[in-house]
Amino acid sequence: MGSVYLADDEVLAGRQCALKVVTIEPYASKESIVQAKEQFLREASVLARLDHPNLPKVSDFFIYQDADILVMDYVPGEDLKTLMDEAVSINEFLPLEEVLKWTRQLVDALSYLHQQNPPIVHRDIKPSNIKLTPSGVIKLVDFGLVKLLAPDERTITVVQGRGTVYYTPLEQYGGDNGHTDARSDIYSLAFTVYHLLTNQAPPEAKVRFVSREKLLPMRAINPEVTQRIEKAIEWALSLHPTERPESIIQFQKALFEGIFPAENGRNVFIPQSSSEWLEKALSDRLQLLLAITAGLLMLMGAMATLLR
């Protein structure tokens, strides 16, 4: 069980910090308590070494009586759930470009986490765990369910838990016995972006698996969503991990650059707009030749029509 408290730093006057206090289950065995304490110290030391602009800094950690305590930067601002609820209350969507700007920062933070040694998986990405500071910086908070991936791909958990049901991929329903990796975070991030851009959460993974319920296309809810965004999010929301992007970088390339893998092993480009397609064509020799050919054919067709 965990709680977060706002505290004043008595050493650095004027500094506020957040205390993440985690207590052991009251009926845990002595052996389990010892293992949990050792695990907390080992993994808190890893979190304390993290340094990224979109992650709150862990400045200290310690055990006090029966509680494990993380001392983290206090992050001011509103969480994205609050901002989404405000948009819903006035029957509007959050601005598309703003959501994409936030998503870029989240992708950058996850890329940093997943590239650690061992890789770190957050496991609880959702709008209420993402804060927007007054300066416009996104912070991915609450590391209560974070996991470190061991070399043999088993996972070790800082705090027992399964994440928030809505945003949880199917493989995470097994708790600590389920195999979760970077693709689990990709699923939760995609679910979050879907929710932020449509004001409604897609069906949770378990419901989709049991009832075969399909995702409602994002563009049917919010016409501002482009085909590229819709395709990238639907890909990342695949129920089976092997059908999702292999890495957060591959998801980034699909969502922001329109580069999707094809069955023949080559990439497929999906432009965000006609101007982006033209820019891509002008920068790629083959695409440029195809564009020129298409233009000439259209011109010849128009001239033939006039000469009739």
Residues 105 and 166 in one domain: yes
Residue 268: inside a domain, yes or no?
no
Digit-coded pLDDT (tens) for 230-267:
999 999 999 999 999 999 999 999 999 999 998 777 88
Digit-coded pLDDT (tens) for 179-212:
788 999 999 999 999 999 999 998 888 888 888 7
Residue 260 DSSP SS3: strand
Residues 39 and 145 in one domain: no
**Model confidence at 134, in pLDDT bands (50, 70, 90)?**
very high
Q: Please give the tally of structural domains in the chain.
A: 3
| Per-residue pLDDT at 30 | 81
Residues 13 and 135 in one domain: no
**Cα pseudo-dihedral 101, 102, 106, 108, rounded to 10:** 30
| pTM, entire model | 0.80
HEC string of 64-110 equals ECCEEEEEEECCCCEEHHHHHHHHHHCCCCCCHHHHHHHHHHHHHHH
Q: How many CB atoms lie within 10 A of CB 233?
A: 26
Residue 269: inside a domain, yes or no?
no
**Model confidence at 41, in pLDDT bands (50, 70, 90)?**
confident
Residues paired with 132 in a beta bridge: 78, 138
| Per-residue pLDDT at 48 | 86
Q: Are residues 166 and 201 in contact, defined by beta-carbon separation less than 8 angstroms?
A: yes
Distance CA 16, CA 67 (A): 21
Q: Are residues 271 and 258 in contact, defined by beta-carbon separation less than 8 angstroms?
A: yes
Mean pLDDT, to the nearest integer, of 73-99? 96
Residues 6+ apart with CB under 8 A from 234: 215, 217, 218
Residues 98 and 237 in one domain: yes
Q: Are residues 7 and 15 in contact, defined by beta-carbon separation less than 8 angstroms?
A: no
What is the span of the domain harbouring residue 282? Answer: 274-307
Show which of 73, 92, 107 is a domain's final residue: 73
Q: Which residue has the tokens 């891509």?
A: 280
Q: Which residue has the tokens 């409604």?
A: 200
Residues 6+ apart with CB under 8 A from 295: none
Mean pLDDT, to the nearest integer, of 212-216? 84
The least confident of 25-34, 75-84, 243-252 is 25-34
For residue 301, what are its two tokens?
């067709």
Q: How many CB atoms lie within 10 A of CB 98?
A: 13
Question: Residue 135: pLDDT above 80?
Answer: yes
For residue 200, what are its two tokens?
């409604």
